[in-house]
Amino acid sequence: MTTRSTSTGELIRLMRAAGFTGIDESRVLAEDWQVTDFAEAGRRSLANLVQSVGAPAVMVSFLDSDVGFVEALTPDGNGWEGLLNRETAKSYEIPLERFPVESAVAGAIAWSVVAGLTPDEEAVRQALTGSALFAEELSSALLVALGLPDAA
């Protein structure tokens, strides 16, 4: 989970209220952005959190470190979804057509701009189409490509 928040304690409290469980401590990035690990999220957890925080957020859920499911929202309700490690996702029989790359790239760029960041479109596309041993590597690359400060 990556979002802006005024304090780590406040973000963790809001995440719990939004339906996230197994929350670890946040890592603070520049410009009040925070990265927080969690075990599980409910169906509307991201939407609830974005509404509570009043800031854009991006969430990546991992399947055995092999595949990453990306979901991002802005406070005005605009969002996008993407898939990390598409080749590996095939072995899990995940329907790739549910995660069109160009739609995800366009959504990611729009999300990033609304979040006040400077995205790198080609790097976003690479993260969403690339392969890695662990999907977490692609997640880190995606955060950097979205323009999140100090995400590397």
Q: Is the pLDDT assigned to residue 152 strictly greater than 70?
A: no
Tokens of 100: 């069109």
Please name the residues in contact with 146: beta carbons below 8 A apart, sequence gap of 6 or more: 58, 108, 111, 112, 115, 117, 119, 124
Over residues 57-78, mean pLDDT: 96
Burial of residue 84 (number of CB atoms within 10 Å: 0-12, 13-18, 19+):
buried
Domain boundaries, the chain: 2-146
pLDDT at 119 exceeding the cut of 70: yes
Q: What's the average model confidence in pLDDT over 110-122?
A: 96
Tell me the whole-structure pTM to 2 decimals.
0.92
pLDDT tens across 7-47, in order? 888 899 999 999 999 998 788 887 889 999 999 999 999 99
* pLDDT for 27: 84
Residue 68 in this model has a pLDDT that exceeds 80: yes
